[in-house]
Structure 1
Amino acid sequence: MPALLRPALTALSVACLLSAASLASSGPALAQAKQQAAPPAQAAPAQTPTLKQAALTDKQVDGVLAAQKDMDAITAKLPENTAPDQKVIAQLDAVSKKYGFASYDDYNNVVDNISLVLGGFDPTTKKYVGNEAVLKSQIAQVQADKKMPAKDKKEALEELNEALKTPAPAVENKGNIDLVGKYYDKLVAALGDDQN
């Protein structure tokens, strides 16, 4: 689903999710670094709304996982870098309601909260270590990569170090960490592949 369709998602939350998904899929270190540090190319609002943190439930996570196939079917048809029209928003709202959410905004808020937590998971150990530790691990991976061209390595390190300067908000609902950990593999598989 294009990042444009997640208006409440902070740039860093997207980056966190991308980081978790890209590391889990064992992509090259440069791609991980670019995905971690770069804000979403499709971000529409100039001022990103603040993430409304909420305690997640199994039912909400199950709903996100169940809805993903239908959401992807709708968003896959959208041209890159364009805002969805009202018809598409209505379709996304209908899918959200089908899977137990009050609205598409409600669905987005749950995805945003999941993304915030996912960004702090070490994809190797699948344990929550926090966003800063994940970024530091990525920096170490880039530094250790002997095959990466020097120019790309320098760029990746600059982007990762910049991301360290703008930390993700702390997870307010600590129960969300255990819940996301319980569904980690499914969430990365469902949400990770749709972020380009």
Structure 2
Amino acid sequence: MTEQPLVSCIMPTANRQKYIPYALNNFLEQDYPNAELIIIDDGKESIFQLLPDDPRIYYFYVPPIGTTGLKRNYACERANGEVIMHWDDDDWRAPDWISKQVDYLLSSSADICGIEHVNFFSAVTDTFWKGTALNRNNPNTPGWLNGATICYRKSFWEQHPFKDMQTAEDDDFIKKSGAKTFAHDYIDGFVAILHPHNTTVKYFENPRHKRS
């Protein structure tokens, strides 16, 4: 791959208009110069009016596709980049998140990289937690990564597309593909936002702190 490969951030979404401006700003504030955002929207109403006029953003408003796994495949098919990065519409990433992820992927020679232990924030309770997404098959098994944080080569996905699953499609992708994984330590570069419509169940340790 080139020194700064094109990174395709894939964002499946549907009927979550209130999260879109934050996800877009999060992408636009990244310091990595060679990235694009692939948005797949099969919601009842298009989010087109929320999108800025930016050539790095590709928007596809489509009839209902089905499960999250199928939507991720649809996004990956349309990705122009050598590297694919998950960009769920309801999470926060530091401005150097893409840069760090690419560095970790290339330097580790892993098939998939991401983080295992994740910071969470609940806007309802104004509380931060340190925890891990709940995985049916024990999240603490070696090789497990939080699916919202993963980054991988498009060529790897072409050999191991996502299954037709609404939830845990990323867990299945990581475990069933035989991927070499790398869990890096840039934990503070990502925060999962809790809300009533999360597609993954979560559990936590004690709250770290509430904002004053």
On whether the aligned pair clears a TM of 0.5, the verdict is no
User: Comparing both structures, which one devotes a greater share of its residues to helix?
Assistant: 1
Normalised TM-score (structure 1): 0.26
Normalised TM-score (structure 2): 0.25
